[in-house]
Structure formats: C-alpha cells, structure tokens
Amino acid sequence: MVAYSSLFSRQQLQACKTQAVQVKEAAVTRYESFMARIASGECILTDGATGTEAERRGIPQLENAWNGGGALSHPDIIRQIHRDYLDAGAEVVISNSFATHRHALVDAGEADRFEDYNRRAVELAVEARDMSGATGALVGAGMSYWSWTDSPPLAAEMRRAATRQAEVMAAAGADVIMLEMMVDLPNLEIMLDAVSGVGLPVWAGLTCRPGDGGVIALRRGGSLFDTVRLLDAHGVDVVNIMHTNVEYISASVADISELWQGPIGVYAHSSTEVDKQWVFDDVISPAAYCDLAARWKDQGVSLIGGCCGITTAHVIEMKRRLFA
C-alpha cells in the first residue's frame, strides 16, 4: 500500500512537470507568433488602463499602494477588466501589479502578501484569456518601482525584490515582463538587471516629457540616447512609451525612432491624479484618442493601447476604426 501510494505520488509529480513544460512551450510559441506579426509590419491593439479602471469600478485603494490590492480583495472585478479588454479586441493584457512591488506593499503594511498579490494578479489575467478564448493574447507581468511615499529602497534591496516578483509572475503564467513607468536611468538599470535572468522576454515602458530646450527625455531625467543604449545592452524586445501625456506621444515616437531599431508601443494616459484620485471628467474622449492613435499608427508604431484614464470604450473605438 505504501509502495503504491509512493508510485502514485511520483506519477502525479511527473504529470505536473509535464504539464508545466507544455504550458511553457505554449507560452513560447504564443510569444514567437506575436512577435512574428510585429516583424511583418502589423500594428497590434493592446489593453487600456487597469489601475484607474479598477478605481473607476469601485475597488478601494490601499494606502501607499494605489489599486494594487484588487487582485486579492476584488478578483472578480480585476478578471472582468481583463476580459472586457480582450473582448474589445486587445491582444495584450497587463496584470494589475503596478503597485504590488515589495516596497509599495511595505509602505502599505501588506508586505507579507507580496507573493500572493503578484501571483494572483497574473493568474487573473490568464484566467480572463482562457475565458475569452483569445489564446494568442499575451499576458504581461506589470512591474514598476514607483513609490507613493517617495522613499524607495536601496538598490540591492530593490533588485532582490524585483527579481523575486518577476519569478513569481513568470511561474504564474506571464508571457512577458512589462516594466512600467520607468522615469529615470538608475532605477531602470536596476530593474533591467533584476529581471534579466528570469527567462521571460522584457518590454520597457518609458515615461517621457519635454526636458531642457523641449527635448524629449525621461520624466525625471535621462536622455533617450542613454536610455536606448541601456535597453540595447539588456536585450529588451520592445520599447513602450507609457504613462506619457497624449500631447507628447508623437514627438516621443519620432525621437525614439531615430535611436531604437526595434518595435515601439504606445500606452498614453489622459487627465491627472488629485489627492490620489484619478480625475475621470477630464479624460480624452474615445473618438479624440482614436484620432491621435491613427497618427501614431502612421508613424510606424507596432502596439497601441492606453494607460491611466483610458478605458474599454477607447479600445472599442480603436478596434472599430483602426484594427477592423
């Protein structure tokens, strides 16, 4: 009886290992197929905001960790947000994990749930993809280093925590690491180093604005030349211009295109935050956003979606007019 139980356990373990290999192989095939479409010149529609959409749908905020708590407190709403974007035609959805890096959760008093938040955030996006039948869509593991208390950790601590976050999300089924709101060079380099050995491709989301003399640069300083050189050195696959005001996107695309030879994506945002609440009344209309997106598409970008303030209505409008 004992021998049979042991044998059964070994069989189960082997089955689990086989399934894990199959899932990984499927993810590789999915990503390769997706990137082949981009290489052929296709522009692909991606999702809109997750964090502000969670706020708009009533998920309460975590103190000092924005809407990061939603994956555990309101999983059905987060899953439905991803599902709505996929049903609208998006082919990339990003996990609700912008605010679940370790130092944000420390500031929120939720550090002991660090792995749970990040694991579940990716699982919900994967579940939404399975439910929608959009088997070719990518699930991005969103990662940032933004601090709501303006007190980031030391570099070594940030690097260790980011590596573990990426490992957890990779194991949960993410197809790609999505670095979000990279606003300065030193922390961008830390994040790139942290995720480089996880085994997933990396996309880098740069937050840009005009700097000295009106030249487009990272939000907190750092030339695009130095930024692109760093991204090249770390083998980044895609550069996304994200959490960048809509009025700065065209200039950012033009300037980055002169330096970066790979695919460029756009995740613009609209309106702003006041007292830690997004101001939805000032968000650009779906029609006006789509007009701008048509211009970005003409500039040769490979991916178009949206960041804070951009909703399923915007994605539906782009699908109807630009990606039919």
Residues 26 and 101 in one domain: no
Q: Which residue has the tokens 């593991």?
A: 141
Residues 68 and 87 in one domain: yes
Residues 247 and 306 in one domain: yes
- Using alpha carbons, select from 146, 124, 161 the residue that is nearest to residue 243: 146
Nearest-angstrom CA–CA distance, 73 and 143: 20
Using the predicted structure, report yes or no on whether residue 165 has a pLDDT greater than 70.
yes
CB 265 within 8 A of CB 238: yes
Task: Indicate the DSSP class of residue 234.
Answer: T
CA dihedral of residues 161, 162, 165, 169 (deg, nearest 10): -170
Strands 277-278, 273-274: pairing kind: antiparallel
Residues 237 and 123 in one domain: yes
Domain that holds residue 149: 43-322
Residue 133 phi, psi (nearest 5): 80, 10
For 43-175, strand residue ranges (E) read 44-45, 92-94, 138-143
Length of the chain: 324
Q: 179 has which bridge partners?
A: 143, 204
Burial of 73 from C-beta contacts in 10 A (0-12 / 13-18 / 19+): middle
278 or 15, which is more confident: 278
- pLDDT (tens digit per residue) in 196-223: 999 999 999 999 999 888 899 999 989 9
Q: 210 has which bridge partners?
A: 216
CATH of residue 187's domain is 3.20.20.330
Using the predicted structure, report yes or no on whether residue 17 has a pLDDT greater than 70.
no
Residues 231 and 129 in one domain: yes
User: How would residue 3 be classed by pLDDT, with cut points 50, 70 and 90?
Assistant: very low
Nearest-angstrom CA–CA distance, 181 and 218: 10
Number of neighbours of residue 26 by Cβ within 10 angstroms: 13
Q: Quick one: pLDDT at residue 5?
A: 40
User: How would residue 6 be classed by pLDDT, with cut points 50, 70 and 90?
Assistant: very low
Residues 273 and 180 in one domain: yes
Nearest-angstrom CA–CA distance, 143 and 218: 17
Residues 24 and 78 in one domain: no
| Domains held by the chain: number | 2
Residues 200 and 92 in one domain: yes
pTM score of the predicted model: 0.90
Residues 167 and 32 in one domain: no
Task: Indicate the DSSP class of residue 184.
Answer: S
Residue 302 phi, psi (nearest 5): -100, -20
Residues 199 and 131 in one domain: yes
CB 52 within 8 A of CB 268: no
Residues 36 and 157 in one domain: no
- pLDDT (tens digit per residue) in 307-316: 999 999 999 9
Residues 217 and 305 in one domain: yes
